Amino acid sequence: MENEKELLGILEVSAFKHYLRFAAENMRYSEVNLQRLLKQFPTATKVLTLEEWQKLGVLPKKKSRALEVLVPRKIVKRDAAHQLLTTEDGERMIETQFVLSPCLFDVSQTNASNKECIPLFNQPECLGTPLRYAKLFVGLRVFSAGKVAIDFLKSETLPDEKQVWVPQGLGAEATIKKILRDLVALEVDTMNEEIRDFEVRAISYALFAHLKLSCEEESFPELALWEKAGKTPSFFEFPLSHLTSLLQQIIQRLDPILEATFDPTVGKNPFERRLMAVQKARRRGQAPPSLEPSDVPTSFEPSENASVQAMNRRIKAGNATRKARSQVAMRKESEQ
């Protein structure tokens, strides 16, 4: 009954949208724990343990109450006389039990600002220029494993139902949203067409929110229709659990690709990262951070990889050869 009460609350559209955004930012937790956290702290957005906040240089505010979640605990089984139970091989019998543990704090319970908790590719400025959009297209193609094709379409007929085709002329953000929604549709394998369509739109909404794309136009009319039709919360329980799990799997695959796409420091050494930070600060008119001795490279050779260096050497050698030949030809012409 307790779980049904929780599901009844989430059937309201605004509460369901907040749940989706919360699930997208707290991917380690099951649907049951996500609901439990929102029941304790309805406005929660990002939760971490005390140790995780401390590693970020953040501390909970005074008198902040930790939020409880179910966590697994390994329990050694004993008999009625409290003697250890063992298997036929003499190994201790251990079972996993889930117990409530008050171990999490929401970002609003700490002295951190929301900006500190937003990943680089989640910041709005990352989607503000044509170059950023181009990089995102590249990342989505990697995520889709070749399923995305951007081409002109004259009709609604798709050449291949297992491939995403996007017509040109939609605009950058609309194109990205269509690609994401169609990729999600390829991932959802629910047989019931009504439930499948609902899960696709719910997961897409959470992804749009995760990427800071516009998503408020989604209204989820199914929620009201199901409630009006007398559907019980247990009917909604499986779709909610399934879409939550699939959403988290998609984001876990997508996030590393987006991080590599948007983070200019990926693959750079410490000196290069520090230098880029100085250049960025200067462009913003801020005092640049000082370079630490450990960041200064021991060699002043270019930081390009070996293949690029080899190509540059070949180009220079070719230019020198052509210049020498030209000089010889000019000398012969002058002698004639």
DSSP for 4-70?
Answer: HHHHHHHTSHHHHHHHHHHHHH-TTS-HHHHHHHHHH-TT---EEEHHHHHHTT--BPTTPPPEEEE
Please tell me which of 84-98, 206-220, 291-305, 313-327 the model is most confident about, judged by mean pLDDT.
Answer: 206-220
Residue with more model confidence, 294 or 26: 26
Q: For 38-58, write each residue's pLDDT tens digit.
A: 999 999 999 999 998 988 888
Q: Could you tell me where the beta strands, DSSP code E, fall in 155-310?
A: 164-166
| Residue 106, strand partner residues | 47
Task: Give the pair of three-digit tokens for residue 59.
Answer: 């501390």
Number of alpha helices (DSSP H) and beta strands (DSSP E) in the chain = 11, 5
Mean pLDDT for the chain overall:
76
Q: For 135-176, write each residue's pLDDT tens digit.
A: 787 888 888 877 777 665 555 555 556 677 777 777 778 888
Q: Which of 171, 137, 122 is nearest to 21 (CA)?
A: 122
| Residue 105, strand partner residues | 48
Q: For 166-223, write each residue's pLDDT tens digit.
A: 777 777 788 888 888 988 998 898 888 889 999 999 999 999 988 888 887 888 988 8
Q: Which of 180, 18, 25, 37 is nearest to 100 (CA)?
A: 37
Q: Which of 202, 200, 208, 160 is nearest to 183 (CA)?
A: 200
| Percent share of the chain, pLDDT over 70 | 70
| Residue 78, strand partner residues | 84
Query: Which amino acid appears at position 44 of this protein?
Result: A
Can you give the pLDDT at residue 247?
Answer: 94
Handedness of CA 170, 255, 210, 243 (dihedral sign): positive
Can you give the pLDDT at residue 200?
Answer: 94
